[in-house]
C-alpha cells in the first residue's frame, strides 16, 4: 500500500511576498507531472467556496491543469472516484474535516491515494487532514466533526505554520512547542512534524523528504525536539512501529 502513496504536504498556501501557492508552484508542477490533466479541489476549509475555487482554479490553470471543485459536483463521492489528483487547501481544519465526514469522503480519498496511487496535494488544513488526526492543528473548533481522526495517509501528525518562540515577545501564552509537548503528555500520541512556513514534505511510496526554503522541527514523545533542514530524509516516520510511543 505504501508503495502507491504520493503526497505533497505544504505548510502554507501563501508565503510573504508571493501569491497563492507561488512559493511551491515548481514543486506542485513537478509532483503532478504531465500525466495529470485534471485536479479535484476540495475547498471545504473556507466558507466562500466559490471564491476559493476561483483562486485555486486560476493558479492550477496557470500551471497547465484543469481544476474541478468538489462543491460544484452533484455527487462528491463519484467526483473523488473519478479524480486524477486531489488538492485540499487551507482554512479551518475543523470545518474541513467535518465536511469530509459529512460527505463520506474519508474512505474514498484514502482508497484513491493509498490503493490507486493518485497524487494528493495538501496545504495547511489540507496537510493537517492528511495525517493521523487534526489534534495538532492551530485552528479554533468552530464546528465539531464526529472525530478528530483524519485521513491517515501518513502515520504521524503535522503542525503547519510552525512558529519558533520569540525570546523578545511579552506574550505569556503557550508557545507552539509547549502545546505540542502538552499533546505528547497524552499516551500513544504519534510524532509531530512542525513545518515552518515555506516548508513542505514530499512523500513517494515509503520515502519522505523535507523540501522548501525553511526547515522543520520534529517532536517525538519523550524526546527532545530536533531541528532539520530541507533535504532531510524523514522516511523513518512512515514506519508504523515509529509512529507511537506509549
Residues with a catalytic annotation lie at 124, 139, 161
Nearest to 92 by CA among 80, 103, 100, 81: 100
Q: DSSP of 91-145, one letter per residue? A: S-HHHHHHHHHHTT-HHHHHIIIIIS---EEEETHHHHTTSSBSTT--S--SS--
Handedness of CA 70, 76, 80, 84 (dihedral sign): negative
Neighbours of 101 (CB within 10 A): 15
96, 88 contact by CB (below 8 A):
yes
Please report which helix (H) or strand (E) contains residue 70, including its range. Answer: none
* CA terminus-to-terminus distance, the chain: 26
Amino acid at each position: 500500500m505504501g508503495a502507491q502513496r504520493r503526497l505533497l504536504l505544504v505548510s502554507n498556501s501563501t508565503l510573504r511576498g508571493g501569491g497563492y501557492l507561488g512559493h511551491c508552484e515548481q514543486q506542485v508542477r513537478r509532483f503532478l507531472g504531465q500525466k495529470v490533466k485534471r485536479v479535484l479541489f476540495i475547498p471545504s476549509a473556507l466558507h466562500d467556496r466559490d471564491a476559493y475555487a476561483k483562486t485555486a482554479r486560476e493558479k492550477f490553470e496557470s500551471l497547465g491543469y484543469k481544476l474541478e471543485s468538489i462543491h460544484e459536483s452533484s455527487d462528491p463521492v463519484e467526483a473523488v472516484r473519478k479524480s486524477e489528483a486531489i488538492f485540499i487547501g487551507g482554512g479551518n481544519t475543523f470545518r474541513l474535516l467535518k465536511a469530509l465526514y459529512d460527505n463520506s469522503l474519508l474512505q474514498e480519498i484514502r482508497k484513491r491515494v493509498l490503493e490507486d496511487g493518485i497524487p494528493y496535494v495538501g496545504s495547511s488544513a489540507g496537510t493537517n487532514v492528511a495525517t493521523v488526526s487534526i489534534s495538532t492543528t492551530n485552528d479554533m473548533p468552530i464546528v465539531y466533526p464526529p472525530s478528530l481522526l483524519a485521513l491517515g495517509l501518513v502515520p504521524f501528525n503535522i503542525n503547519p505554520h510552525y512558529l519558533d518562540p520569540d525570546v523578545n515577545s511579552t506574550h505569556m501564552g503557550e508557545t507552539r512547542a509547549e502545546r505540542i509537548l502538552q499533546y505528547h503528555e497524552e499516551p500513544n500520541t504519534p510524532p509531530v512534524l512542525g513545518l515552518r512556513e515555506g516548508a513542505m514534505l514530499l512523500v513517494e511510496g515509503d520515502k519522505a523528504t523535507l523540501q522548501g526554503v525553511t526547515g522543520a522541527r520534529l517532536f517525538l514523545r519523550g524526546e527532545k525536539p530536533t531541528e532539520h533542514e530541507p533535504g532531510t530524509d524523514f522516511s523513518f516516520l512512515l514506519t508504523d512501529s515509529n509512529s507511537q510511543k506509549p
